Amino acid sequence: MLKETIEQMNEDIELKRVVDEQCILEFADLPKQLDVKILKCKNLEEKNTSLEAELRQKFGLEDCNQSLYVELNKKCKESESLKAVNALLMEQIDLQLLPATPLVVLQSQQPVPDATLAKKYEELLAAHEDVTIS
């Protein structure tokens, strides 16, 4: 029985030695794993900082766009108001204009009262006849 106990103890010692070697290998790799994790963490921090800056810029642009939108609406309302004022002014101008003098159309056989007008009338009549003949 003592022999069995010794064998069992030797097996336990061997098992403990194997486990210790595994632990040593794992612990030896831990600093390298830690360095990799630290590097990943730094990269994520840099990316986070970059994304924060982008968000700040985006919100700044959105605020700027919002204020430009408000200004555009103001200008559109002002333009509509000016159109209405312009229409009212045009109506007032139309009311103030003197009625147009009707034009008298002379027939070709009627005499023209003014000599200068008669000459112009003859020239226009001749030009008109030339156009209709051509």
Chain segment 35-89, per-residue pLDDT in tens:
999 999 999 999 999 999 998 888 888 888 889 999 999 999 999 999 999 999 9
* pLDDT at site 134: 53
Locate the domains of the chain by residue range: 2-99
Q: Which of 110, 133, 134 minimizes the C-alpha distance to 122? A: 110
Predicted TM-score (pTM) of the model is 0.38
Q: How far apart are CA 56 and CA 68, in angstroms?
A: 18
pLDDT above 70 (res 103): no
* pLDDT at site 102: 61
What are 74's two structure tokens? 């103001």
DSSP 75-125: HHHHHHHHHHHHHHHHHHHHHHSPPPPPPPPPPTTSPPSSHHHHHHHHHHH
Mean pLDDT of the chain: 85
* pLDDT at site 26: 84
Q: Bin 112: left if φ > 0, else alpha if -120 < ψ < 50, else beta.
A: beta
Q: How far apart are CA 117 and CA 119, in angstroms?
A: 5
Q: Summarize the confidence of residues 101-128 as an average pLDDT.
A: 71
